Amino acid sequence: MAINPVELELPREPGVYLFKNKSKKVLYVGKATEIKSRVKSYFSANPDRLMIPKLIEKSSHIDYIVTTNPDEALILERELIRKYKPRYNSMLKDDRSYPLIALTNEKYPRIMYTRNPPPGSRTWGPFPNVSAAKQVLQLLRKQFGIRDKDCRGKDGCLSMQLGLCKGPCLDPEGYPEIVKIVTNILDGKAEQLLHKLTKEMENQSQKMEYEKAGKQRDMIRAIQSTLSQRIITSRFYRDCDAIGFSSRGSMSVVTILHAKSGTVQGQQTWPLLHRGDIEDTICRFVSEFYSTNRPPSLILLPCNISQFLSEWLFQKRGAKVELRVPKRGKLLELKNLADKNAEFQIERERGINTGSLEQRAVNECADYLGMDSLDHIVCFDMAQLQGKNRVGASISVKLGRPEKSEYRKYNVKGKQLDDIRMMLEVLDRWLKKQKTWPDLLLIDGGETHLKFVYDLLKENRLEEKILIAALAKKEEILFRIDSEPLILDKRGRVLIFARDEAHRFVNLFHRKSRQSKLLKDPLESIEGLGAKKIQSLLRYFGGRQGLLHASINDLCKVPGIGKSLAKRIVDGLSK
């Protein structure tokens, strides 16, 4: 075990803790109401999460940051995860934040569409369907005249003249009623507005004003898309969110079905990175999602979550939040429906959103080899011709695609003639310049190559930081440390591609190296003969032909050319 829990000196305070490896890379960030007891639980005989033994094995020390309270720890944890992107944390698949509709906390509130709402604002969202949410915002302004973010409350503003603003400069006494109506609509009580728009659309259609009717139809669809159209009803469905979950390897999807007043009102879907621990993934999502959304009174979950997160939800809502993993009845049906939607969405994510052939090949190969990630591969290959022009090269493959900026060429400096020792020299030079490590270091070779490279890593104390493998050409056999040889099938095509690309690149370098040496002036290879002396020789003898027929005595007549250098010139030109 890399960390001795007895030697850990940790505070009994709220805060965050960071597991780090020998190179001080952050592997995991966690939060705790009491850091000492939380970290101690990682070293129990029966850990409660699958990733914990591997995390402990890879870590060399634990840092911590004390906070004033658990709420601050939750915020800090989220920021640190976004900053370091630790390997063993489950994270939102990307760092983008979806926009919100916000109502400011002012005497005469303004409505706005933003990713950074002002302090104290009431927010709705986030909205993955950006265009529909913008249409709703425009509709609310047009229908009710609520102030927008640019309204400064001055007489005669353009929005007031256009009928888009009925703010305090026009009707300060009636404005609170406008705010109340808009708030109700954003809370999902849009029946009256939808009824009004539908009636207008029908009237316009009867009058054969089809263009106007079409615009009304689009507005109705925008409201339904953003505020979630009702699809299921039940007297059991009160104010609750049902969270569904599905995963494929390192990819997962969380789907939320929102229910209010006995009606399920659509869904939201969120792709995440998943590290094999459902509880950790769900906890991470809950803390992300409800940091900008008011929690409902009931949340249906696929698994139990920590007591700390339960208390945090209570504080966010300002009232009790019931957390339930349903086992039967209508609530289980709702939960199963959320899971079914997540199952459908993850297939869509795999086929479309992450649907490049390269990315799918990477995900498939990582699952095939039982690895957490295979997003970055570095592959080495060597080339020589009868002991001459000895060169090596490395290529980099990121997310299944060649990263040409990280391709490297090496001229072998030592006198080694066999591929293995040539490769060890080149690898040693590569290791000394690296600051970060790939998910896999791939060698073009067999089991013997793998053993020598592993010994080199051990000498540099890097055997735990770098995962290595060797791929033999003939039968596409993959050799790994402490694993049986594996004959790759189509799931290993990204490794075969990396090996073939390294082979192509090193052969191209080798061919150019041979050609450059064939074209090189033989005078340049003579020790002690620089560019200026070469020019003096050519001028003195009237060109290269005169120089080829010159004797040692003739050469000694040229200023700066001694007898020993003259002899080397004659010997060099006679080869």
Total H helices, total E strands in the chain: 19, 21
366-517 fold? Nucleotidyltransferase; domain 5 (3.30.420)
Tokens representing 281 are 């993934």
Say if residues 470 and 503 touch (Cβ distance below 8 Å): no
Find out whether 27 and 60 touch, Cβ atoms under 8 Å.
no
Per-residue pLDDT of 200-256, as tens digits, reads 888 888 888 888 888 778 767 756 654 543 334 444 556 788 899 988 776 788 888
In angstroms, the Cα distances linking 355 to 118, 180, 367 are 37, 44, 16
Question: CA 54 to CA 245: how far, in whole Å?
Answer: 24
Tokens of 141: 């302004």
Which comes out higher in pLDDT, residue 347 or 105? 105
Per DSSP, the three-state class of 244 is strand
Identify the pLDDT of residue 97: 53
- Residue-wise pLDDT tens digits, 55-82: 888 898 888 887 777 766 776 787 778 7
Tell me the C-alpha distance between 272 and 231, whole Å. 26
Q: Report the C-alpha gap between 137 and 360 in whole angstroms.
A: 38
Report residue 356's pLDDT band, with 50, 70 and 90 as the boundaries: low
Find tokens 């060597």 and name the residue: 382
The stretch 26-54 carries a mean pLDDT of 86
Tell me which of 3.30.230.20, 3.20.20.70, 3.40.1440.10, 3.40.50.800 is the CATH number of domain 5-84. 3.40.1440.10
Q: Say yes or no to pLDDT of 108 above 60.
A: yes
Higher pLDDT, 92 or 39: 39
pLDDT at 354 over 50: no
Distance CA 490, CA 398 (A): 19
* Whether the predicted pLDDT of 262 surpasses 60: no
Residue 412 has which token pair? Answer: 């072998």
% of the chain residues with pLDDT over 90: 8
Tell me the per-residue pLDDT of 173-184, one tens digit each, with 9 for 90 and over. 878 877 877 887
The whole-angstrom separation of Cα 167 and Cα 175 is 6
CA distance 181 to 196: 14
The C-alpha atoms of residue 148 and residue 142 are separated, in whole angstroms, by: 11
Which of helix, strand or coil describes residue 410?
Answer: strand
Average pLDDT of the residues of the chain: 79
Is the four-CA dihedral 322, 323, 328, 331 of positive or negative sign? positive
H or E element at residue 30: strand 26-32
Would you say 223 and 253 are in contact if contact means Cβ atoms under 8 Å apart?
no
Across the range 78-90, mean pLDDT stands at: 78
pLDDT at 145 over 90: no
pLDDT above 70 (res 501)? yes
Query: Are 233-353 and 366-517 the same fold in CATH?
Result: yes
pLDDT exceeds 50 at position 505: yes
- At residue 349 the predicted structure's pLDDT band, cuts being 50, 70 and 90, is low
Helix/strand/coil for 286: helix
Q: Which residue has the higher pLDDT, 355 or 132?
A: 132
User: What is the distance of C-alpha 19 from the center of its chain?
Assistant: 19
Q: Which residue has the higher pLDDT, 383 or 17?
A: 17
Residue 265 — very low, low, confident or very high, per pLDDT cuts 50/70/90? low
Q: Is the pLDDT of residue 430 over 70?
A: yes
- Report pLDDT for 235: 47
Bigger pLDDT: 68 or 509? 509
Q: How far apart are CA 301 and CA 124, in angstroms?
A: 22
Mean pLDDT of 396-402: 87
pTM of the model: 0.38
Of 331, 557, 368, 564, nearest in space to 469 by CA: 368
* Residue among 99, 126, 125, 134 nearest 222 (CA): 134
| Angle of CA points 477, 479, 483, to nearest 5° | 120
Highest-scoring range by mean pLDDT, 359-363, 532-536, 552-556:
552-556
Looking at residue 300, its amino acid is L
In percent, how much of the chain has pLDDT > 70?
83
Position 372 pLDDT exceeds 80: no
Q: Which long-range contacts (CB under 8 A, 24 or more apart) does 325-328 make?
A: 325/300, 325/301, 326/300
Question: Which of 383, 360, 363, 382 lies closest to 372, judged by CA?
Answer: 363
What tokens were used for 496? Answer: 């075969």
Residue 132 has pLDDT above 70, yes or no: no
Q: What pLDDT does 126 receive?
A: 60
Fold classification of 233-353 (topology level): Nucleotidyltransferase; domain 5 (3.30.420)
- Nearest by Cα to 265 from 289, 297, 242: 242
Evaluate if residue 198 carries a pLDDT over 50.
yes
Find the mean pLDDT for residues 506-523. 70
259 - beta bridge partners?
240, 264
Q: For 414-435, what is the mean pLDDT?
A: 85
Cβ(389)–Cβ(513) below 8 Å: yes
Confidence of residue 114 (pLDDT cuts 50, 70, 90): confident
Domain assignments of the chain as residue spans, ordered by start: 5-84, 100-227, 233-353, 366-517, 522-574
Give the CATH class of 522-574.
mainly alpha
DSSP class per residue in 116-160: SPPTT-EEE---S-HHHHHHHHHHHHHHH--EETT----TT-HHH
Q: So what's the pLDDT on residue 478?
A: 92
pLDDT band at 401 (very low <50, low <70, confident <90, very high): confident
Q: Which pair of tokens denotes residue 508?
A: 């191209």
Confidence of residue 442 (pLDDT cuts 50, 70, 90): very high
What's the whole-number mean pLDDT along residues 527-554?
Answer: 80
Q: What is the pLDDT of residue 407?
A: 93
C-alpha radius of gyration, the chain, whole number: 34
How many angstroms separate the CA atoms of 237 and 202, rounded?
32
Mean pLDDT score, 311-328: 88
Exposed e or buried b for every residue in 226-235, given b needs 16+ CB within 10 A?
bbbebebeee
Question: What pLDDT, on a 0 to 100 scale, did the predictor assign at position 479?
Answer: 92
Q: Hey, CA dihedral for 214, 215, 216, 219, is it positive or negative?
A: positive
